[in-house]
Amino acid sequence: MDWPQILATLGIAMLLVIPTGKYICRVINGSKTCFDPVLDRIDGFIYKVSGIKQAEMDWKQYVIALLLTNLVMTLLVYLVFRMQHLLFLNPNSIKAMEPSLAFNTAISFITNTNLQDYSGEWGLSYVSQMVAITFLMFTSAATGFAAAAAFIRGMVGKSKTLGNFFVDVTRLTTRIFMPLAIIVTLILVWQGVPQTLAPNQTVTTIEGKLQDIPLGPVASLVSIKHLGTNGGGFFGGNSAHPFENPTPLTNLLQILSMLLLPTSLVYAFGLMLNDKKQAWTIFAAMALLLAMALPACYFAEKMGNPLLAKSGLSQTMGNMEGKEVRFGIAESALFTTVTTACTTGSVNNMHDSLTPLGGLTALWQMMINVVFGGKGVGFMNMMMYAILTVFLCGLMVGRTPEFLGKKIEGREIKLIAIAILVHPFVILISSMIALLTPAGLAGISNPGFHGLSQVIYQFTSAAANNGSGFEGLADNTAFWNISAGLVMFSGRYISIIALLAVVSSLAVKKAVPVSIGTFRTDNPLFMGVLCAVVIIIGALTFFPAIALGPIAEHLTLWR
């Protein structure tokens, strides 16, 4: 029943793409929706209180508004983390967060990464979980989605303006994230996920010992962590914890929540472009890359661990180390693939316990960072590769490259080169520094090939704004907190700035009429070439690292 489960989940996700994409398009366009009579008043109140002027912004104004708003929110939540022992809603007497950890956590959640170097139930008060963590899960997701909305307007528009950042964030929050989060929260509570401000409960176990049972406002956080592709868990066990993900229905709901908005955004792009065929081509390229990764992860885990088999332990179920029995291999592999494809970072199994090839699958998807991706960023990255693909194909036939009727010239390619190169640069350079310094080496729990994989995974997850980790790494130190924080910051904002500059340049160019020599970008040929470009560039930049890590570990395991 493994593959029927997987295919049924993906089939439901596909059924939701078109209706959700249509709604997203209306929200981004500012078109009327059935919720406007109520939500317009809420938006108007927010604009009035905040002093928001709804004037159009060019790309520089949009970027400045985005960066400054994110900076202010980062400082505010940093203060909350440092002062949580003095604030209200702290029934479990949680102490203040250490400075480097507070820095890492604030950067992590504002960048939609949600890398956690702490265990939530013991490291954060309820006010921190709600006022800081849950708040940033909404705003960081809305920020990424707003950047994607501005990017789409630039691709399909004919002016230098890309919209208004404050209006975009407000509308996306009130019309998409809040309504969906309320629905998902109610379903989670129905399935047994706690939603309370009561303190931890101390109970007597059947052994006669005392055990603390952590509680809190869990369901509201879990809903937006998946809808916003955030991924940070209320508990250290994340979605493997029975209070975050207690039933097969909640597991299905969380997978669908991760896929819902990133997949639907591609269709919304097609509607705004008035060319659904072009959107389905981009969608098919993303889906093909996902379809390549999912079986690789599943069969790698299904093969089991040969060392355990030699020790006499049955591997007929596959590699069940670090997995919940209630989910098994199929749902664990699907969750792993989706959470790294959508750069969510939520986990329902321990990625450190994946087989080498299973871990490589998760690592690879974060390295290419284009398979639907997080809120808007994955789509922008795939469009970046689409422009690069058109440029490379134009060079091969000696014709000036065009994409969506606009000529691709030197300025756009230089900016795209920056956006592409910054990702492997921050990952590989940071990994090198970690492996050359005593502070970095001190965090590695495995001295072999797997130890290298732990380091590379940490920085890849940070740069891709994913947040999952090979949790065998002892990363709650000043070195790891600060270095990962800097990588998360670079991975988030440099590419957004570069890509908004690209579409601003394209938007003002005159449309080039389609001719017999125009390279089509809405057919299977382009889809295949696009996937090939993504894979080749990913392999050229990361193959040495993965060869020395998961591939070497696999060869050692199966020798």
Terminal-to-terminal C-alpha distance of the chain: 31
* Max intra-chain CA distance, the chain: 81
Cα–Cα distances in angstroms (integers) from residue 82 to residues 71, 79, 535, in the given order: 17, 5, 43
List the beta bridge partners of residue 210.
204
For 147, phi and psi rounded to 5 degrees? Answer: -60, -40
User: Of the candidates 146, 319, 339, 331, which has an alpha carbon nearest to the alpha carbon of residue 233?
Assistant: 339
CB atoms within 10 A of CB 451: 20
**Pick from 141, 137, 344: nearest CA to 254:** 344
> Measured at the alpha carbon of residue 197, what is the angle toward residues 194 and 201, in degrees to the nearest 5?
70
C-alpha dist (Å) from residue 378 to 148, 222, 371, 464: 9, 22, 6, 9
8 Å CB contact between 258 and 229? yes
Question: In sequence order, which ranges of 33-158 are alpha helices (DSSP H)?
Answer: 36-50, 59-83, 99-110, 120-123, 126-127, 135-156
Determine whether 204 is exposed, middle or buried from the number of CB atoms within 10 Å of its CB (0-12, 13-18, 19+).
Answer: exposed
Question: How far is it, in rounded angstroms, from Cα 178 to Cα 259?
Answer: 17
Residue type, 228: G
476 within 8 A of 491, measured Cβ to Cβ: no
- Report how far residue 253's alpha carbon sits from residue 187's, in angstroms, rounded to the nearest whole number: 9
In three-state secondary structure terms, 483 is: helix
- What is d(CA 274, CA 522) in angstroms, rounded to the nearest whole number? 13
User: Bridge-partner residues for 58, per DSSP?
Assistant: 161
Of 391, 389, 370, the C-alpha closest to 381 is 370
For every one of its 559 residues, what pLDDT tens digit does the chain have, with 9 covering 90 and above?
789 999 999 999 999 999 999 999 999 998 888 888 899 999 999 999 988 888 999 999 999 999 999 999 999 999 999 999 999 889 888 999 999 999 999 999 999 999 998 888 888 999 999 999 999 999 999 999 999 999 999 988 777 889 999 999 999 999 999 999 999 999 999 999 999 999 988 888 888 888 888 999 999 999 999 999 998 899 988 999 999 999 999 999 999 999 999 999 999 999 999 999 999 999 999 999 999 999 999 999 999 888 888 887 777 788 888 899 989 999 999 999 999 999 898 999 999 889 999 999 999 999 999 998 777 788 999 999 999 999 988 877 767 788 888 888 888 899 999 999 999 999 999 999 999 999 999 888 888 899 999 999 999 999 999 988 887 888 889 999 999 999 999 999 999 999 999 999 888 888 777 777 678 888 999 999 999 999 999 999 999 999 999 999 999 987 7
